[in-house]
Amino acid sequence: MCCKVVFGTQRLGQSNREAEGQGAKILALLNVASPSHNIFNSALTVALAERGHQVTVITTEAEKRPTPNMKTIVIEAAYDSSRNNFDLESYVEVSPLDMIFISYEWGCYTCEEELRSAGAQQLLNYSSTERFDLIITEAGWGECFFGFIHKFGSPPVVATSGVGIPPWISLTTGNPENPSYIPNYLLPYTSHMTFSERLYSFVIHIITTSLYQYSYIPKQEAIARKYFNEDLPRFMDIWRNFSIILVNTLVGLDDPRPLLPSVIPIGGMHIKAKPDPLPKDLKLFLDEAKDGFIFFSLGTNLRSDMLTLETQQTFLDAFSELSQRVLWKFESDALPRQPPNLRISKWLPQSNILAHPNIRIFITHCGKMSSIEAAYRGVPVVGIPFFLDQRANAKKFSAKGLGVTLDYTTLTKESILSAVREILNNDR
């Protein structure tokens, strides 16, 4: 069995002699219904295919870089079922406790929709005698696909985790997660907590992990039993069998914590050290920003065009008072009353834009991928977190003096301008 895999941001995308002639047959179950997770995971699967491994991927969108050794099975409309049933922008009002329930509900709902898809049916129709040398899967929100691990004879499994090191990793690997100095991933605390913060972190930790083990995973198991005509082992046992977990965590941005040898930090594996060239007109807009530019994006799940018109106007009013140019990822064409220094676009090559020398500030929702990209490129942030780990990520920037956090629910033109000016005028 060959599983010699070389990781590292620098080397992704390069061919590797080591793999020649000894390619492994790999199945990747990448079904978290979020485009950013797809960007993250496809960096791994494409790199493996380029090194000569035969990779079959079941995933939420077609691969944009067609790769010879890769076969992609697309779970059709995976994002729609999430989008149509979960009002992501509204979760900014939700407490961490409620967020736990919503995130597990989201995981079960999207996973079942995906198992019913034509894409999943195609993989379900594979013969159970089919064998893979290795299975790759993501460590959260897509567990009903664990049935495929059993179906294909329980080969070694490598998991990835786009959101860093969520608490259930401690249940499944034994990796230490001491809530007294490791705040729960939903909480905006650092490793230096007050007594009440530690107590709350502890309570949230117990609830997150107990629900995962005794409610969420059994539900995912029940969903899988409907679609796999086999006696499935208990999913916690499948999970505990995983060989290694590749976690998206960056030394320097994330607080130090102990890791087992099987929990390997590969933060930002999707980032290309040398950015790709930008489209010509976009490059010109940014090159000519003589006072620099501000990049504003809420990532791939939240949509700026779903913010209330009032909030959109608040941003426009603030931007119109700046001498910097502003680039805003805005998902529709209709944004009236745009100031002349603003440019909107539905899709933008974020990591490459963050590498532009004229960038001054990144206004971000602080998703894990965006946070790591900003830290990697050294761009200060104005964080406007909405849900899940975003509040915790925003806190990491503000606690380390790398950014300012704004509360979305109390946003005003003045608060936006004061955060932006704090970063523009503070030499630190």
Ligand X SMILES: *[C@@H]1O[C@H](CO)[C@@H](O)[C@H](O)[C@H]1NC(C)=O
Residue 238 or 326: the one with the smaller Cβ distance to ligand X is 238
Q: How many other β-carbons are positioned within 10 Å of the β-carbon of residue 214?
A: 10
- 322: closest CA among 420, 188, 214? 420
Span from 163-171, 216-224, 230-238, 381-389 in contact with ligand X (CB under 6 A): 230-238
Smallest separation, CB 234 to ligand X (Å): 7
Smallest separation, CB 238 to ligand X (Å): 5
Structure tokens at 412: 């005003």
**Which amino acid does the sequence have at 89?**
E
On whether the CB atoms of residues 44 and 66 are closer than 8 A, the answer is no
Residue 25 or 272: the one with the smaller Cβ distance to ligand X is 25
Smallest separation, CB 233 to ligand X (Å): 4
Q: How far is CA 149 from CA 1, 173, 194, 309, 396, in A?
A: 17, 17, 43, 46, 36
**Binding marks (x or -) toward ligand X, 117..156, rule CB under 6 A?**
-------------------------------------x--
Site for ligand X in 60-89 (CB under 6 A): none
Residue 156 or 292: the one with the smaller Cβ distance to ligand X is 156
**Residue 421 to residue 428: CA distance in whole angstroms:** 13
**Residue 51 to residue 48: CA distance in whole angstroms:** 5
Classify 357 as helix, strand or coil.
coil
Smallest separation, CB 153 to ligand X (Å): 8
Site for ligand X in 232-251 (CB under 6 A): 233, 237-238, 241
Residue 119 or 147: the one with the smaller Cβ distance to ligand X is 147
Structure tokens at 6: 């070389």
**Residue 74 to residue 77: CA distance in whole angstroms:** 9
Residue 243 or 412: the one with the smaller Cβ distance to ligand X is 243
**Binding marks (x or -) toward ligand X, 273..312, rule CB under 6 A?**
----------------------------------------
**Buried b / exposed e along 230-240 (16+ C-beta atoms within 10 A):** eebeebbebbe
Residue 237 or 291: the one with the smaller Cβ distance to ligand X is 237
**Residue 329 to residue 349: CA distance in whole angstroms:** 10
Smallest separation, CB 415 to ligand X (Å): 51
**Residue 253 to residue 369: CA distance in whole angstroms:** 12
Residue 98 or 237: the one with the smaller Cβ distance to ligand X is 237
Q: How far is CA 190 from CA 59, 198, 329, in A?
A: 34, 10, 30
Smallest separation, CB 237 to ligand X (Å): 4
**Binding marks (x or -) toward ligand X, 153..172, rule CB under 6 A?**
-x------------------
Return residues touching ligand X (CB under 6 A).
154, 233, 237-238, 241
